[in-house]
Structure 1
Amino acid sequence: MTQNQYTIGVDFGTDSVRALIVNTSTGEIAGTAVHSYDRWKKGLYCHPASSQFRQHPLDYLEGLEGCIRAALETCPDTVRTSIVGISVDTTGSTPGAVDKNGTPLALLPEFAENPNGMFILWKDHTANAEADEINALAHSWEIDFTKFVGGIYSSEWFWAKILHTLRVDESIREKAFSWVEHCDWISAVLTGNTNPLTMKRSRCAAGHKAMWNETFDGLPSDEFLTTLDPLLHGLRNRLYRETYTSDEGMGTLSSEWAQKLGLSTSVVVGVGAFDAHMGAVGAEIEPYTFVRVMGTSTCDMLMAPNEEIGHLLIKGICGQVDGSIVPGMLGTEAGQSAYGDYYAWFQRLITEPVRQLLGQEAAELLAEKLIPYLSEKAAALPVTENDPVALDWINGRRTPDANHGLKAALMGLNLGTDAVLIFKTLVEATAFGSRAIVDRFLSEGVPIKRVIAIGGVAKKSPFVMQTLSDVLNMPIQVTSSDQACALGAAMNAAVAAGAHASLPEAQKAMGSGFDASYEPRPEVVEIYKKLYVKYQALGAFVEL
């Protein structure tokens, strides 16, 4: 293998996009930069009360160019000229409507301010009713197209969002030729070929969110989709049949983007994927490793050989897809719709009155110090069987058994309950939600041999991580890299560009290792088992 080759991993998160330039031989980080989405930061095109969350494609394009250029500026020219590949991960399912050229409708003048012409972010839950309809029809159809996605289709996913948008916006209905996932479109942009009929579509995105499977001959049948709603008639033929794993190349860098970035047109652009799946690669996932991507929400990744678990239909998760994480392995996904977002909600609950009464500066100072203060004080509290208990469904429940109509709840409060105790209770609720996911895998016959955590929460909050270890009663390792998703993208780019023969080889050469670990504390494990029973009872009551 040629020495001193580099790849760029680009990680599109909920709030920002980052680029990471990595030496394919050593894993050394040569440069990095982050670009926040300007329009998103201003709260444009979103309406949290109705669970509408949209992102303008200009935020993506500006962020893509901005973060890569900024990262390259920190590198010597020898690095720039040695870059052989770029791969991208994004949130998902985050689909958008495009015209025949693959141009997102929001980039056309007449749709520039129309949220329905933008990308529909993963946490948008405006399509709850459509998800219910998909489930009802799928469960009565001769083929249950939800059987490889846990048996329950979510409003966070591709078809539900498309159907909702087509129903509510006639102008989009008339102009939309096809639909693309963010990870497919932004990768295609780099190659210059955004034709929705020929761009390579992500196996990861298609299998986990669009009910694509080889046994279905691709996507759900046109008969099924038309029965669901005639508005979907013919759309299947304007989407895709084939899908591709992320160790494959999508194409090479177009002249336009090579000039923008100052790179060669020989740079290979890899097939895109979702952030959690590439993050699992960056975390050096192995068979039966449970990788938790912990940020605003969580995604939980687990993979195993097809011949060992491929016969299972794992109920209530977010899909099982051959090659969605590493080719040759069955990739499975689960997760929670709110994790860090739950803590952020509590922070806003406290700081917003301060903003209104004492001004912006006082509120920002409080916001900066609040979560670290609450974490420190909560960590010092005892864990008792009489503690309050909360549900983590502040943004619905992703897994097990998706239901985004559910709400959070708190029980056991009294006049002595203060902010620190409530914060501790919310952290425990997110840990209990995590345990429910682990329990589902175990009950479905999938063992978990190791737990790895990545993401902002894992890196920044020892209190959250210790609580999680206690509740799961399992050791947890935290990756050294604070950019594991971008690192995983860089690893995929290295394979797509031929710098490594396989993802396991790239992981071995480019992995960052681990810099923290948490062990369950025996003195609280038994107490948390009893509190978890109360969590389950509260959940059953709320779900009645």
Structure 2
Amino acid sequence: MDAQSQPGGSTAPDQHVIGVDFGTLSGRAVVVRVSDGAELGTAVHEYANAVIDDRLPATGERLPPEWALQEPNDWLEVLRRAVPAAVRASGVDPNSIIAIGTDFTASTPMPVTAEGSPLCRVGGLAQRPHAYPKLWKHHAAQSQADRINALAAERGEPWLARYGGAISSEWEFAKALQILEEDPEVYAMTDRWVEAADWIVWQLCGRYVRNACTAGYKGILQDGAYPSPEYLGALNPGFADFADKLDAEIGQLGSAAGTLTAEAAALTGLPAGIPVAVGNVDAHVTAPAAKATAPGDMLAIMGTSTCHVMSSETLTEVPGMCGVVDGGIVAGLWGYEAGQSGVGDILAWYVANQVPPALHEGARAAGRSVHEHLTELAWAEPVGAHGLIALDWLGGNRSVLVDASLSGLVVGTTITTRPEELYRALVEATAFGTRVIVEAFNGAGVPVERFFAAGGLLKNRHLMQTYADVLGMPISVIASEQGPALGSAIHAAVAAGAYPDTVTAGEAMGNVEHDAYVPGPDREAYDALYREYLALHDYFGRGGSEVMRRLKAIKRAARVASTEPAEVRA
């Protein structure tokens, strides 16, 4: 089956909303009761094309290193399949559903025509990689990001400080500049450069509304303006008018972008005319669902990557932050974002590529997943017994170094090192990376007073306890397995007028277990390992050695050469 449904639900004449979370590999829908946030039914649809990072499906063409694309039809199938399945699973009358809200990975931008057709679906362009949406973890625009940052610093562009001094290769401008410089024909055909979060809302309500969250964090919209044409033209003369491709109405979070069209109603099985909430980012939309909206509350959404968001009454520069946006999470507060490019992705890579068959067989014999099996083996020993330190940069570094050209590292391996020990070292590295981010915020005068967590990694209790020990802070966890989808449902309830704002709605509909994990006796042992991590972090990340960047350049050159026709190589 392409959707997994959760049974249960209610037939009472309550009002309901539906939240749809578009993740990296799948989309999920959840039906939620407006009065108390009860989750009555959910369904998941896996993307047929998953992440396009090896070969282009239309041609079989090998993609260069660091590419990550997606197919928009996969997202529409979530609306077609998961939404009706969630409603069926809930048992509610579809006519009791008063609004729909959505969230998306970000930055996942795409080139479209003026009418919103993705260029990869325009005649003849399915063979052009740059015509496809670039997933958040497309890191092939690092050279463009480097130039964006260097020129902004040279010119003293005022917006640069709002992004911790550096724009990521994951964000909109670097990815668009890459298209201009590598496929100018596709760039010229791009009428609009649209975040997937806004494109899916466009498909639902027939109106293009650019949400304030992605516009601010991923699109360099600060104080109502994008970077100037003079600055953009200095990057590349053909880029001077790029902001014109971003021009759109800015929708505030929790407001309605429009109402569900008849076509979208037929696609989803929902009532036509219900409000469609303004789009949002999967991390930021989760804050009300976790009741983590007060100043000092940092929420980590822990999945394939981890995004750290928090609100504050203070506007300041946090080195290496992804951005600070007025009302970027909740109205009336400055919303901050930081993050790690790889967390669950790192563990998934390790299990898929580095774990020997005997351990896979041992996991099956024990009746548990390989992740569970490795965890039980690894945490049977005391902290530091593996003698390892790892750097969690297998997907580059998003915060605080903001450099996708960095890579992973493990120090301390011997001929006696076991697979479960490496697994634990990788988990610990992600916890150390989060501590670097927390300390950066504390040091910049935006104190992290309470730490909250959401996402799929909450299932691993040893991992969560490790984070509490490494951070030296209690961790409160969202009491929902569908945090972003619940957050989208909360925003839908506000868009429908059921609550005055997302904080009030979150108090009624959100669910959190306070201080689910508290620091234990391993805290001091982890402090010692963290000092070693920090030494490696600064040496390889702050100029002590350029070996990681050189190796990536060598890899890229070799891969590009291997895909060139023989006559070109000759």
The equivalent of 1:127 in structure 2 is 141
Per the alignment, in what secondary structure is the counterpart of residue 493 of structure 1? helix
- CA-CA distance at 1:363 after TM superposition: 12
**Kept in 2: contact 1:45–1:55 (CA 8 A):** no
**Kept in 2: contact 1:84–1:266 (CA 8 A):** no
The equivalent of 2:78 in structure 1 is 63
The equivalent of 1:319 in structure 2 is 323
Q: Distance in 2 between matches of 1:105 and 1:35?
A: 24
Q: State the one-letter code of the partner of 2:435.
A: R
1:259-312 Cα deviation digits (max 9, x unpaired): 22232222000110110001122111132111110001100111123xxx12x1
Q: Compare 42-51 and 472-481 and name the one that shifted more.
A: 42-51
Change (3 A) 1:223 1:393: same
Q: How does 1:366-405 map to 2 (within 5 A)?
A: 369-384=369-384, 387-405=387-405
Q: State the one-letter code of the partner of 1:342.
A: I
Q: State the one-letter code of the partner of 1:286.
A: T
The equivalent of 2:210 in structure 1 is 201
Q: Distance in 2 between matches of 1:225 and 1:503?
A: 36
Q: Compare 102-111 and 91-100 and name the one that shifted more.
A: 102-111
The equivalent of 1:83 in structure 2 is 97
1:45 aligned to which of 42, 45, 56:
56
1:25 aligned to which of 35, 48, 59:
35
Q: State the one-letter code of the partner of 1:250.
A: A
Q: State the one-letter code of the partner of 1:15.
A: L
Q: State the one-letter code of the partner of 1:518.
A: Y
Q: Compare 39-48 and 372-381 and name the one that shifted more.
A: 39-48
The equivalent of 2:88 in structure 1 is 73
Structure 2: which 5+ residue stretches go unaligned? 1-11, 545-570
Asked whether 1:505 is paired with 2:512, we answer: no
The equivalent of 1:196 in structure 2 is none
The equivalent of 1:34 in structure 2 is 44
Structure 1: which 5+ residue stretches go unaligned? 194-198
The equivalent of 1:278 in structure 2 is 285
Q: How does 1:76-475 map to 2 (within 5 A)?
A: 76=91, 78=93, 80-193=94-207, 199-214=208-223, 217-240=224-247, 242-287=249-294, 288-305=296-313, 309-310=314-315, 312-351=316-355, 354=357, 369-384=369-384, 387-458=387-458, 460-475=459-474
Q: Distance in 1 between matches of 2:409 and 2:108?
A: 28
Change (3 A) 1:139 1:3: farther
The equivalent of 1:492 in structure 2 is 491
- CA-CA distance at 1:539 after TM superposition: 1.8
1:186-234 Cα deviation digits (max 9, x unpaired): 11110123xxxxx2211110111111111xx411111111111122122
Asked whether 1:536 is paired with 2:543, we answer: no
Q: Distance in 2 between matches of 1:190 and 1:368?
A: 40
Per the alignment, in what secondary structure is the counterpart of residue 201 of structure 1? strand
- CA-CA distance at 1:64 after TM superposition: 2.1
Q: State the one-letter code of the partner of 2:378.
A: A
- CA-CA distance at 1:318 after TM superposition: 0.6
**Kept in 2: contact 1:480–1:515 (CA 8 A):** no
Change (3 A) 1:324 1:82: same
1:302-336 Cα deviation digits (max 9, x unpaired): 1123xxx12x1222101010111111111111110
Asked whether 1:5 is paired with 2:3, we answer: no
**Kept in 2: contact 1:133–1:228 (CA 8 A):** yes
**Kept in 2: contact 1:202–1:244 (CA 8 A):** yes
Q: Compare 107-116 and 479-488 and name the one that shifted more.
A: 107-116
Per the alignment, in what secondary structure is the counterpart of residue 31 of structure 2? strand
The equivalent of 2:561 in structure 1 is none
Per the alignment, in what secondary structure is the counterpart of residue 98 of structure 2? strand
- CA-CA distance at 1:515 after TM superposition: 8.0
Change (3 A) 1:20 1:113: farther
Per the alignment, in what secondary structure is the counterpart of residue 109 of structure 1? coil
Change (3 A) 1:114 1:70: farther
Q: Distance in 2 between matches of 1:113 and 1:533?
A: 49
Q: Distance in 2 between matches of 1:6 and 1:48?
A: 44
Per the alignment, in what secondary structure is the counterpart of residue 259 of structure 1? helix
Q: Distance in 2 between matches of 1:320 and 1:221?
A: 19
Give the TM-score of the pair, scaled to structure 2: 0.88
Q: Distance in 2 between matches of 1:48 and 1:435?
A: 34
**Kept in 2: contact 1:321–1:331 (CA 8 A):** yes
1:482-507 Cα deviation digits (max 9, x unpaired): 00100000001111110111112111
Change (3 A) 1:368 1:233: farther
The equivalent of 2:547 in structure 1 is none
Instruction: State, as a whole percentage, how many aligned pairs show the same letter.
Output: 38
Q: State the one-letter code of the partner of 2:131.
A: G
Q: State the one-letter code of the partner of 2:302.
A: M
**Kept in 2: contact 1:178–1:235 (CA 8 A):** no
Give the TM-score of the pair, scaled to structure 1: 0.92
Per the alignment, in what secondary structure is the counterpart of residue 271 of structure 2? coil
Q: Distance in 1 between matches of 2:75 and 2:197?
A: 11
Per the alignment, in what secondary structure is the counterpart of residue 506 of structure 2? helix
Q: Distance in 2 between matches of 1:206 and 1:464?
A: 33
Q: Distance in 2 between matches of 1:48 and 1:9?
A: 34
- CA-CA distance at 1:96 after TM superposition: 0.2
Per the alignment, in what secondary structure is the counterpart of residue 147 of structure 1? helix
Q: Distance in 1 between matches of 2:24 and 2:212?
A: 21
Change (3 A) 1:401 1:531: same
Per the alignment, in what secondary structure is the counterpart of residue 148 of structure 1? helix
**Kept in 2: contact 1:378–1:423 (CA 8 A):** yes
**Cα root mean square deviation, aligned:** 2.4
Per the alignment, in what secondary structure is the counterpart of residue 74 of structure 1? helix
**Kept in 1: contact 2:52–2:69 (CA 8 A):** no
Q: Distance in 2 between matches of 1:384 and 1:394?
A: 22
Q: Compare 397-406 and 138-147 and name the one that shifted more.
A: 138-147
